[in-house]
Structure 1
Amino acid sequence: MKMKYVCPFCFESHDIGDVEFACESRKICGPVDANGNITNPGQGENDPKLAKYKGVQSYTGPHVFRRMKNNKEQRSRFSMPASATCDWCHRESHKRVCPSCHNDLPSTIDSDEQIIVALIGTRGSGKSTYIGVLIHEMMKRIFRPFDGTFQLYGPEDQTQYRDRFEQNLYIDHRPLDQTQSHLAGNQISENRPILGMLRKQSGGLFKKMQAMTLVFFDSAGEDWDDPETVNVVANYVAHSSGLIFLLDPLANSVIRSQIANDEAIRTSSVAAEGDVSAPTVVLNEVATLIRNANGLRETDTIDIPVAVAFSKLDVLEDNGILPQGSALAKPSPHVLAGKFDDADRKAVDAEMRSLLDTWNQGDFVDSLGQQYSKASCFAFSAMGRAPQQDGTIAPPAPKRIEDAMLWILQENGIL
């Protein structure tokens, strides 16, 4: 029985019965006078909680209320109410909102499994491009062999994906703009996550349909360079079902010295060593944040699956940096086989750990093993090729982009 839920927007945890409602009859709803008559219908009400989430001074939205009976709040310890009657217009509403931020909660928040994927990485690691291409691939092909489908949750998620990712990558053929920081000065601004629904036929003798909400949050790279900012923007990390830690290999001086073609570096978004926090530093900062949020001791290892994924695999491959017979040079086998191939995962992990040693990042490997009990290394290319000289890009032809996500789902018992 589900006893708690996490808001997929502000990532605050609540008891299952702790929920508010937004009136769905805003055009006729309004405050009531002493005689019980509605005044100023359609004006809505000031919503300071949603204004704070959006990073604006004020925001006018529908009236928000709790389920009441005989002037007393009704709250169950074991279930979430499906509807409530508005105390202004006395019409029923099914629109449940988070008590902390007043964002609309997914309709399945009380029943379906929730998989929050925390995407972490410093500037230049390609987080936004990774999300944009990964979501496209999940909708089109990745889950079909697993008897599953993936679709974006609602109109806001579809609009955000279309305007921010699909229009640029698949229609205009141009790189994505840099993600804006979640913290501007002392003001927190909205950086809305993207929600999607994964539906999958379960295996076994008695098959049944499973549904789960996947939550993707794309934070700006500089949000991970400042320890104080990390504490502001990363509440979702403590509640995540998996971490994908993106690293840009071109930010490593050893790798850069092995690339004869400067064009590969010039056309990539690269933040050189010294300009961003070292990967080990960010890895340890995130571990500290998770421990503090979950009451873990410094000596406790964290059991959230951590996928360390190196971007720009095509550059490593094209410049002969991968070893002879590299597992990374082979196509990803998981989707082709319709099941997760753990032997391939282990081969890729061993190869990447060996490469990290040669790239003078053995401390990162050591810290990864000390901090996290479930960790595996991957590499991918979201675009599959470098941008053109004029700055445009060809349609994405990703390589191994699904590996880290499928492993996290496997570790959560979903595949």
Structure 2
Amino acid sequence: MPTTALPSRPPGLLPRITCPHCWEHFAPEKLLWVAEHSDLLGDMRLGPEQSQRFLPTRFTVNGEAIDAKGFPCHQLACPNCHLTIPRSLLELEPLFLSIFGAPASGKSYFLAAMTWELRKTLPLTFRTSFADADPVLNQQLNEYEESVFSGASSDKLVPLATLIRKTEEQGDLYDTVSYGNQTVSYPRPFLFSIQPQPRHPNSHKAAKLSRTVCLYDNAGESFQPGKDTAATPVTRHMAQSRVLFFVFDPTQDARFQRLINQQALRGTTAMKTMRQEPILQEAIARIRRFAGLKQSDRHKRPLVVILTKFDMWWQLLESDPLPEPWLTARSPANANEQFEAFDSRAVERQSSLARNFMLKCAPEIVTAAENFADDVTYVPVTAVGWQVSIDTSSGLPAIKPSEASPYWATVPFLYGLHRSVPGLIPVITKRKTGS
């Protein structure tokens, strides 16, 4: 098989790579490769059943490493934790995003709705590609999407509780790595590549604007005191995150339940109430600790408070639900060319209404969020839409997946892109005269 000497760094690679698992920084030439031959099993970090990781000295003419059995290899791995790294992270800067909230707050449903809708909205509306950077790491989330929106029983009434299983503190969403006598469990991120398409207004800046999105989800129990340790650093990604998403479920708040007609809760009246402020406070304490922020420092990165199950309480916002927040705009370079642009003004108006609602329902959430971050936005969403009913056999809220129609599920992500990577999606920010 033709081989070459150790190749020089190809053009277009980032000078430093950040592992999405352990958050170690290293030069691309330090990357390990994953052995391809089935006999080359047993890795010092990942155990006897995993393929060996190695630093290659032989390459094919196409630049692929050759393992000890002469097989060309295709997967890359972090030199620190040995977990696999998608190739997009070698070329596209990472964008770390973290989502957290109390147990049963609707986090997993929101995630499924968000990514399901982004796959259509970003390319068709904003001329921006959105694709799995690692289908293996994203498998769990893809299953969520299929279960809620395109399952085999899409025309049958299905209890919501059976569509997505609860996010656990261990299992499929975590990877275990051995460092000698110390075993560490890392949260497994969801990875996506996002890039301007040719007809995007900023397509000429694609190399600068494109990102590999590293999205982290945690079980609500992970924010109990003492849960984040050196052996289980399950929430330390939050200090790296450019945007934080806190999921708040008003229906779990006793004050909310007194505000709304009990009949409107559609079978959730038996749900236990839960104080959700401690989850936010614990997350804030950890971010301060791991990011080195003083108690008097304010976080400079956006915090988006996502208010779930909006279909059950939208009347309390004292305004009809707004349409999707994007408008048609004209290209500054070509007056005859039009494109869709994200309307940040509409999000700000909705946020103001939602903040007023939160001051009545859960003022401590507003206080904690705004004492911590300079940029706080409140976004009401419904992950499954407005056609939720009661399953007569179980008495639980249920939907027909074919009728699921998320409302504003993409908005927190789009707003986060607007704030963290300006120009990646077209945005209307200039206010109209007199507004």
Q: TM-score range by the shorter chain?
A: 0.7 to 0.9
Amino acid at match of 1:349: S
Alignment-derived partner of residue 400 in structure 1: 408
Partner of 1:216: 215
Mapping of residues 54-93 of structure 1, within 5 Å: 58-67=47-56, 84-86=65-67, 88-89=68-69, 93=73
Q: 1:114 to 1:269 in 2, by over 3 A?
A: farther
Confirm whether residue 297 of structure 1 aligns to residue 294 of structure 2: yes
Is the 1:112–1:211 Cα contact (8 Å) retained in structure 2? yes
| Distance in 2 between residues matched to 1:15 and 1:111, nearest whole Å | 14
Superposition map of 1:1-400 within 5 A: 2-8=14-20, 10-17=21-28, 19-27=30-38, 42=39, 44-50=40-46, 58-67=47-56, 84-86=65-67, 88-89=68-69, 93-157=73-137, 159-171=139-151, 172-173=153-154, 174=158, 175-182=163-170, 192-201=188-197, 203-204=201-202, 206=204, 208=206, 211-224=210-223, 226-231=224-229, 232-262=233-263, 264-267=265-268, 270-274=271-275, 278-279=276-277, 281-317=278-314, 320-323=315-318, 325-326=319-320, 329-334=321-326, 338-359=340-361, 361-385=362-386, 386-390=388-392, 391=396, 392-395=398-401, 396-400=404-408
Which structure 2 residue ranges, 5 or more long, are not aligned? 1-12, 175-181, 330-339, 426-435
Against the structure 1 CA distance between its residues 236 and 11, is the aligned structure 2 distance closer, same or farther, given a 3 Å change threshold?
farther
Identity percentage of aligned residues = 20
Q: Closer, same or farther in 2 for the Cα pair 1:358/1:314, shift >3 Å?
A: same
Distance change >3 Å, CA 269–CA 346, structure 1 → 2: farther
CA distance in 2: counterparts of 1:141 and 1:22, whole angstroms: 35
Shift of 1:245: 0.5
1:129 shift after superposition: 0.5
TM-score, structure 2 as length reference = 0.75
> Structure 2 CA distance, aligned partners of 1:382 and 1:345?
17
Q: Give the 3 Å change call, closer, same or farther, for CA 335–402 of structure 1 in structure 2.
A: farther
What is the CA-CA distance between 1:263 and the residue it aligns to?
6.2
1:79 matched residue in structure 2: none
Instruction: String of CA shifts for 1:269-316, please: whole Å, max 9, x gaps.
Output: 954135xxx32x322322222222222222221112110010000000
Compute the RMSD of aligned alpha carbons. 3.0
Distance in 2 of aligned mates of 1:380 and 1:180: 23
What's the offset of the Cα at 1:158?
5.5
The Cα of 1:203 is off from its aligned counterpart by: 2.9
SS in 2 for 1:321: helix
CA distance in 1, matches of 2:134, 2:269: 33
Q: Secondary structure in 2 aligned to 1:228? A: coil
Does structure 1 conserve the Cα–Cα contact (< 8 Å) formed by 2:93 and 2:212? yes
Q: Distance in 2 between matches of 1:304 and 1:245?
A: 13
User: What secondary structure, in the 3-state scheme, does the structure 2 residue paired with 1:213 have?
Assistant: strand
SS at match of 1:49: coil
SS at match of 1:197: strand
Change (3 A) 1:223 1:402: same
Q: Which residue of 2 aligns with 1:38?
A: none
By how many angstroms is 1:110 displaced?
2.0
Give 1:133 deviation, angstroms. 1.1
SS of equivalent to 2:84? coil
What is the alpha-carbon distance in structure 2 between the residues aligned to residue 282 and residue 205 of structure 1?
A: 40
1:93–1:117 distance in 2 versus 1, CA, 3 Å: same
The answer (yes or no) to whether the contact 1:21–1:84 under 8 Å persists in 2 is no
Q: 2:177 maps to what in 1?
A: none
Tell me: CA distance 1:3–1:205, structure 2 relative to 1, closer, same or farther (3 Å). closer
Gaps of 5+ in 1: 28-41, 51-57, 70-81
CA positional deviation for 1:179? 1.3
Query: Which shifted more, 90-99 or 214-223?
Result: 90-99
Give 1:227's aligned amino acid: P
May I ask how many residue pairs the two structures share in their alignment? 367
What SS is found at the alignment partner of 1:229? coil
Separation in 1, partners of 2:260, 2:391: 18
Instruction: Label 1:269 to 1:286 Cα distance change in 2 as closer, same or farther (>3 A).
Output: farther
Gap change, CA 1:59 and 1:127, over 3 Å in 2: farther
Note the C-alpha offset of 1:358. Answer: 1.1
Q: Give 1:230 deviation, angstroms.
A: 4.0
- What is the SS of the residue equivalent to 2:136? helix
CA deviations over 1:44-97 (Å, ceiling 9, x no partner): 2322523xxxxxxx442222112459xxxxxxxxxxxx75454x3365545320
Tell me: CA distance 1:22–1:286, structure 2 relative to 1, closer, same or farther (3 Å).
same
Cα distance in 1 between the residues matched to 2:137 and 2:270:
26
| 1:72 aligned partner | none
CA contact (8 A) 1:11 1:239 kept: no
